[in-house]
Amino acid sequence: MAAALRGLSDLTDTPPYARSVTSTAPSSPRIPPVRQNSGSQTPRVRPHATTLNIPGMTRSRVSPDGRIPRRDVAAKLVIVMVGLPARGKSYITKKLQRYLSWQQHDSRIFNVGNRRRVAAGRKVPVHPKLLPEPGHLDPPVQAASILLNGVPAPQAETPPEQREPDLLDLNDTEVKEKEEMDQSADFFDPKNQNAAAMREQVAMETLDELLDYLLVHGGAVGILDATNSTVERRQNIVNRIKRREPKLGILFIESICHDPDLLEANMRLKLSGPDYRDKDPQKSLEDFKKRVAAYESAYTPLGDYEEEHDMQYIQMIDVGRKLVQYRLKGFLSNGISHYLASFNLAPRQIWITRHGQSVDNELGKLGGDSALTELGHYYGQALHRFITYKRKSWEIEQKSKRAQASFPPVPGDNTPPYPEMNRDLENKNFCIWTSMLQRSVDTAEYFDADDDYDVKNWEMLNEMNAGQFEGMTYAEIAKSHPEDYQKRAKDKLNYIYPGVGGEGYLQVVSRLREMIREVERIEDHVMIIGHRSVCRVLMAYFMDLSLGDITDMDVPLGMLYAIEPKPYGVAFHAYKYDEAEGWFNEMPNYRPQKASRGSV
């Protein structure tokens, strides 16, 4: 029996050559995976995840502030505009840049037309900060001069000293060249080889500047504003981007217009622009139509080619009435699509004011939900009277403009009409939006009792939550929490109040995002009765102001701001409440100022 068991053991034993031998060498250490760009010689193979970045609302090791990090190239975006002239491309780019910058995504517009005018020697609006260094000309200027004149352009003279622009100083400085190239419709004829070569060179140099902004200077979104109306041009743009950085996102946005009223409004804007300024309107219109025809002869809309090559794009028809999108990738592209879908050009007014004086205002306390004082109730009553008056006078003014409008415009007429001016103005509603806090709701009580107004309370319009400092004065905070007080004073934009529910300005921006889209979407008048931080953030968007400046903007009780969207920007008016008269007086040439030292 024992012998049989030994035989079975021999059959099941592992052969000697296959038996493991216990090693006496020390075990190898566990080596963690190496991250890409970590400095190791063994980089990570797969690319980093490209997900949502919201300043103040997201945080990661590479992006502690929520901004798109430099290394996250795939999250950055090149927006390439497409479309014939007078289709509203520049209008779209300016609004997009304003919206993205308001959300703290560093964005910039690179306008090929402006650089083309510089190259041709035209007067071109240039912000003082973008003026060339003394004795230096941009490459497009030199290239254009060589192509058309055979010699380099002379070096520009040293520009005069430029004063630092005020908070809302959007006045432009002009760069002037002695010689001007002819830029009539013949200049845009595809058969004009010299001009075509110049335009292509300027476009590519402008694109290079855009890529430098994204890849060298830390920008998040660069917008190439040009017609880019041929497949060949768009191929060149994509190839140039891919050669420089293949991971960069590219989004084409095409503006198409079929509405004759919209086309008329856009053409009026063009006739008052730098190419036709101070020229005969009738001749300018004829020349501009020839220019459009020249582009149309070689124009290919977005579609088959882009889809065959899996390129994401958005087509806007009649500035937002219809939207077509294809293969949108990334949070920026999708956010842009939602924003563009809210566009409308209806004439309307947007009013912004703080609530009337509250009990806590008198005591200097933060936050809370106190009631209005007697003076606060008087403010709400006067506000209802004044807005009712301005609503009626606005309708009269718009009807007068509609009756006097002519096309082409007469010399000196630089006020293009709204494309939707011909619609009925008398049926326009007036919305009153307040926060959920008592002082805001009570300021609107006289509007709520008037059936001509639609009143709604919004939680997202509530004042910034001061967390554990709610109900305290700034003097009390400085005494009991000096470190927090100093931290906020040094960086109000990024500071977040400690404690449950505490917020900062970036959190207010985030919760007002949908509010902004709704204001852009509706065609009715709207007045927002908000709070200090909310009014500051809203003003930053509509007036295209830096949030870094707006955190110190003086928005006192009793100020009323009117913002009227225009095809070329906004018209801004400010009114100050006169307590003795119970009325509001306009403040001509008013510009928001920084609050005095020590203000909240």
- Band (pLDDT 50/70/90 cuts) for residue 178 is very low
Q: Treating both helix axes as pointing N-terminal to C-terminal, what angle do 331-340 and 513-521 enclose, rounded to 10 degrees?
A: 30
With H, G, I as helix, E, B as strand and everything else as coil, classify residue 242: helix
pLDDT higher for 153 or 103? 103
Question: Residue 192 has what pLDDT?
Answer: 62
Q: What mean pLDDT do residues 504-532 have? A: 96
pLDDT higher for 304 or 272? 304
Query: What span, in angstroms and rounded, lies between the C-alpha atoms of 515 and 391?
Result: 22
Q: Where in the chain is the domain with CATH 3.40.50.300?
A: 73-340
**342-382 pLDDT, tens per residue?**
988 889 999 999 999 999 999 999 999 999 999 999 999 99
Name the residue among 40, 203, 178, 25 with its Cα closest to residue 110: 203
- Band (pLDDT 50/70/90 cuts) for residue 296 is confident
Q: What mean pLDDT do residues 231-253 have? A: 97
**Cα distance between the two ends of the chain:** 98
**387-404 pLDDT, tens per residue?**
999 999 999 988 887 777
For residues 323 and 314, is the Cβ–Cβ distance under 8 A?
A: yes
Query: What span, in angstroms and rounded, lies between the C-alpha atoms of 117 and 100?
Result: 27
**454-491 pLDDT, tens per residue?**
999 999 999 999 999 999 999 999 999 999 999 999 99
What are the structure tokens assigned to 100, written together? 């993205």
Q: What mean pLDDT do residues 59-87 have? A: 82
Q: Where in the chain is the domain with CATH 3.40.50.1240?
A: 346-398+504-593
pTM above 0.85, yes or no: no
Is the preceding omega at residue 408 within 30 degrees of 0, hence cis? yes
Name the residue among 473, 554, 540 with its Cα closest to residue 509: 540
Question: Residue 293 has what pLDDT?
Answer: 82
Query: What span, in angstroms and rounded, lies between the C-alpha atoms of 121 and 153?
Result: 10
559-566/350-354 β-pairing: antiparallel
* Class for the domain spanning 346-398+504-593: alpha beta
The alpha helices in 218-303, defined as continuous H runs, are 231-244, 260-271, 281-296
Q: Which residue has the tokens 């009580």?
A: 445
Which residues pair with residue 566 across a beta bridge? 569
Question: Residue 351 has what pLDDT?
Answer: 99
Residue-averaged pLDDT of the chain: 80
Q: What mean pLDDT do residues 95-113 have? A: 94
73-340 belongs to which homologous superfamily?
P-loop containing nucleotide triphosphate hydrolases (3.40.50.300)
**27-60 pLDDT, tens per residue?**
655 555 544 444 445 455 565 566 667 776 777 7
Question: Residue 309 has what pLDDT?
Answer: 95
Query: What span, in angstroms and rounded, lies between the C-alpha atoms of 512 and 514?
Result: 6
pLDDT higher for 121 or 213? 213
Q: Active-site residue numbers?
A: 225, 257, 463, 531
